[in-house]
Chain A
Amino acid sequence: MAKRVGIIGLGKMGILHAGIVNSLPDSEVTAICEKERFLIRSAKAIIPNVNFYTDHSRMIAKEDLDAIFVTTPIHTHVPLVIDIATTNPSLSIFVEKPLASSKDLANKACRVAKKLTGTHMVGFQKRFSPIFLKMKETLEKGDLGQIMFFKAYSFSSDVLREGSAWRFKPGTGGVLLDLAPHVLDLMLWLFGEPERVHSVTSHIYSSRVEDYVHTILSYKTGFKGHVDICWSMSKFRLPEICIEVFGKDGSLVASDDYLKISKYGSNGAEQVYYKPSLQTSVPFLLAEPEFTKEDEAFLCHNKNTPDFFEAARVNMLIHRILS
């Protein structure tokens, strides 16, 4: 029987996940909770066969669900997780990134997760990108020799004037909570926990939250790297992550689009993997293939997924950067 899925929050990520889940062969969206009544009225006109709610507790109580996607503003994630877990601890819970708006709330979610019998996962879909997966494999094989340092950036043109949504309010927004979690999660996934963190932040368009962050991460084994994160870059039609790693035997560049591996002593030969050369077809595509892959992994209870405990490390790293 198809898994019955509920969505809380009908913003752009809620619509995206709802569309993907509803198109996968073994799952269907049966309920949606959204506080804005006008969004419900609009959605009803084009989303048939779904029950709509304005109250999530009522949805959980009335619907026979297997899994829930939490795609609401960041500061509401953990209170919702607590409510869901209290009402029905057997539900699997997917939370859009980041898990929480602070490290304390992330830790609270982890305490709750220990009591859950269902799966829990956070939307770090970059881990499902064939390019970053191949990059991780290359690093783990030791193809570059001993790692000396890395440099990375995560840029977007999302903020080219001051906005009014929750993304621009202290405690719920800023580039660190909005754009940075993906690249920071990749850093933790690829290189582990840094021993020391040194950072600077600055305002460009936003008066109340940071638009730019520069952070230097130092690791126990001796190597270091820096990351620039900015959501106010011009001409980035899509957000872009790029990571360059330099080892004693070679180097690599991994971006959302390609992976280039150069090994010293190979006469400058370079291996390049573009998306078309990697398997990117999915059962149903909305936005990028990695969104479909992450939703499939969540609904199949795949063990190698970023759970609440791993996601809490991102919140801890954001906390270290800010302090």
Chain B
Amino acid sequence: MRSLLIGDNSFIGVSHLAQSKARETMSRLNIPAMANVVEEAIQNGASGFSFSIHPTNQKILQRLHEENLPKRSFDIYPILPYAEGYVRLANEVGMGGIIKHFMSDLSLTSKTKTLLKGGISAVTLDPVKLLKFYTEVEIERYLRIKPKTATLRSILLHEVVTDLALAFSSRTLFIEYDKHIRKKFHVTPGYVTRNFARFVQFFHESNMSLKDTVIMTPFNKAGFQMNPSREKCEAALSSINHEGNVIAMSVLAGGYLTLDEARDYLQSLRNISGAIVGVSSKQHAQTTFRAFSKLLNQDDDCQQHI
């Protein structure tokens, strides 16, 4: 395994075990405390930080930047868009109003206004163009505030977009996104999916390569969020051989599994190149990342660095 990432679930109120637990963590942690948790994770073996494009994560990175932390170099893997925010917005203003808010949310700079020169409607009426435009604006915003020791390694598409594109077999969206990320940012495109077996099948059937692509998807002993089943996801993982960089998420099934169970399961899998784990305190970061870092750089069949 080559990468071990700290995730942002605890910082943005996500818990797969109990939402009340997530709310408790949120009320306990302020931005400096969250930044400390990220720093502690990196000092204890995490090789990177993966996060949703969410205002809280922007503040955490800003804080780390201002404090010149962490001292160790690390990779960042932003995930966009922050879908839950737009679902709520759809409730408030309806689908008709969502694009208007979406554009105003981007706080357009003169540079982004230039990007829109071709006409705002040309962008807003084409979801692929809109996604490219949004990616450019958001990622550049994060690149401006990221800590000096951070390197942009991949830009991942949120599971809501990935899985919807998968549902409609939208080959165009995957191809255009892949091209855009490589050409514009010179990094690896990535996808978060909770339908890994279907994802692999679709890429193979559509003659799209998984080479040098990050796939972040659940892998855990409980089979939690592994669709259509743990067995089918494991079979799909075996089938990809050296293609793709699969980063396992939900490895602890939201805290339902122990660290040892999670680690043993990951060790039993071929072709897993990384794992992402969320932690909610400095102590938690220390224990978790010390335990998982033993998996790093162990010999396995997937040696590509992502």
On whether the beta carbons of A284 and B227 are closer than 8 Å, the reply is yes
Q: How near does chain A come to B284, taking the closest CB pair, in angstroms? A: 19
On whether the beta carbons of A45 and B198 are closer than 8 Å, the reply is no
How many residues in A have their beta carbons less than 8 Å from beta carbons of B? 49
**Known A23-B166, A240-B19, A282-B228; contact A46-B97, beta-carbon cutoff 8 A:** no
Q: Which B residues are CB-close (under 8 A) to A164?
A: 92-94, 97
Task: Give bound CA distance, A47 to B173, whole Å.
Answer: 10
On whether the beta carbons of B18 and A237 are closer than 8 Å, the reply is no
Cβ 8 A contact of B164, one of A19, A45, A281 = A19
Tally of A-B residue pairs with Cβ under 8 A?
A: 147
On whether the beta carbons of B173 and A275 are closer than 8 Å, the reply is no
**Known A274-B254, A281-B227; contact A237-B163, beta-carbon cutoff 8 A:** no
Tell yes or no: B194 within 8 A of A by CB.
Answer: yes
**Known A15-B164, A276-B222, A280-B224; contact A163-B93, beta-carbon cutoff 8 A:** yes
Q: How near does chain A come to B280, taking the closest CB pair, in angstroms? A: 15
Q: How near does chain A come to B237, taking the closest CB pair, in angstroms? A: 15
Task: Give bound CA distance, A274 to B223, whole Å.
Answer: 13
Q: Which B residues from 62 to 120 make CB contacts under 8 A with A?
A: 84, 87-88, 90-97
On whether the beta carbons of B13 and A163 are closer than 8 Å, the reply is no
On whether the beta carbons of B222 and A11 are closer than 8 Å, the reply is no
Q: How near does chain A come to B79, taking the closest CB pair, in angstroms? A: 15
Q: How near does chain B come to A160, taking the closest CB pair, in angstroms? A: 9
Task: Give bound CA distance, A236 to B18, whole Å.
Answer: 12
Tell yes or no: A322 within 8 A of B by CB.
Answer: no
On whether the beta carbons of B224 and A45 are closer than 8 Å, the reply is no
Tell yes or no: A158 within 8 A of B by CB.
Answer: yes
On whether the beta carbons of A19 and B168 are closer than 8 Å, the reply is yes
State which of A97-105, A180-188, A250-258, A311-319 sits at the interface with chain B: A250-258
Q: Which A residues from 260 to 290 make CB contacts under 8 A with B?
A: 274-277, 280-286
Q: Which A residues are CB-close (under 8 A) to B194?
A: 285
Q: Which A residues are CB-close (under 8 A) to B198?
A: 23, 284
On whether the beta carbons of A237 and B22 are closer than 8 Å, the reply is yes
Tell yes or no: B180 within 8 A of A by CB.
Answer: no
On whether the beta carbons of A165 and B167 are closer than 8 Å, the reply is no
Tell yes or no: B14 within 8 A of A by CB.
Answer: yes
On whether the beta carbons of A41 and B125 are closer than 8 Å, the reply is yes
Cβ 8 A contact of A276, one of B13, B91, B93, B253 = B253
Tell yes or no: A82 within 8 A of B by CB.
Answer: no
Q: How near does chain A come to B187, taking the closest CB pair, in angstroms? A: 23
Q: Which A residues are CB-close (under 8 A) to B166?
A: 23
How many residues in B have their beta carbons less than 8 Å from beta carbons of A? 57
Q: Which B residues from 1 to 54 make CB contacts under 8 A with A?
A: 12-20, 22-23, 26-27
Tell yes or no: B277 within 8 A of A by CB.
Answer: no
Cβ 8 A contact of B222, one of A238, A258, A277 = A277
**Known A47-B170, A165-B97, A237-B22; contact A281-B16, beta-carbon cutoff 8 A:** no
Residue of B nearest to A239 (CB): B19
On whether the beta carbons of A276 and B16 are closer than 8 Å, the reply is yes
On whether the beta carbons of A48 and B195 are closer than 8 Å, the reply is no
Q: Which B residues are CB-close (under 8 A) to A84?
A: none
Q: Which B residues from 182 to 223 make CB contacts under 8 A with A?
A: 194-195, 198, 220, 222-223
Cβ 8 A contact of B95, one of A11, A41, A240 = A11
Residue of B nearest to A162 (CB): B92
Tell yes or no: B226 within 8 A of A by CB.
Answer: yes
On whether the beta carbons of B18 and A257 are closer than 8 Å, the reply is yes
Tell yes or no: B256 within 8 A of A by CB.
Answer: yes
Tell yes or no: A235 within 8 A of B by CB.
Answer: yes
On whether the beta carbons of A19 and B167 are closer than 8 Å, the reply is yes
Q: Which A residues are CB-close (under 8 A) to B168?
A: 18-19, 22, 46-48
Tell yes or no: A300 within 8 A of B by CB.
Answer: no
Tell yes or no: A201 within 8 A of B by CB.
Answer: no
Q: Which A residues are CB-close (under 8 A) to B253?
A: 276
Tell yes or no: B169 within 8 A of A by CB.
Answer: yes
Q: Which A residues from 194 to 213 make CB contacts under 8 A with B?
A: none
Q: Which B residues are CB-close (under 8 A) to A283?
A: 227-228
19 more CB-based (< 8 A) A-B contacts, given A23-B198, A237-B22: A11-B95, A45-B126, A45-B128, A46-B170, A47-B168, A47-B170, A157-B88, A158-B91, A161-B92, A178-B91, A235-B27, A237-B19, A257-B17, A276-B17, A277-B256, A282-B228, A283-B227, A284-B198, A285-B194
* 17 A-B contacts (beta carbon < 8 Å): A10-B95, A12-B91, A46-B172, A47-B168, A48-B170, A157-B88, A164-B94, A164-B97, A165-B97, A257-B16, A258-B18, A274-B17, A275-B17, A276-B254, A281-B225, A281-B230, A284-B163
Which 10 pairs from chain A and chain B are nearest by CB? A19-B167, A276-B253, A276-B224, A163-B92, A276-B256, A165-B94, A237-B13, A276-B222, A46-B170, A285-B227
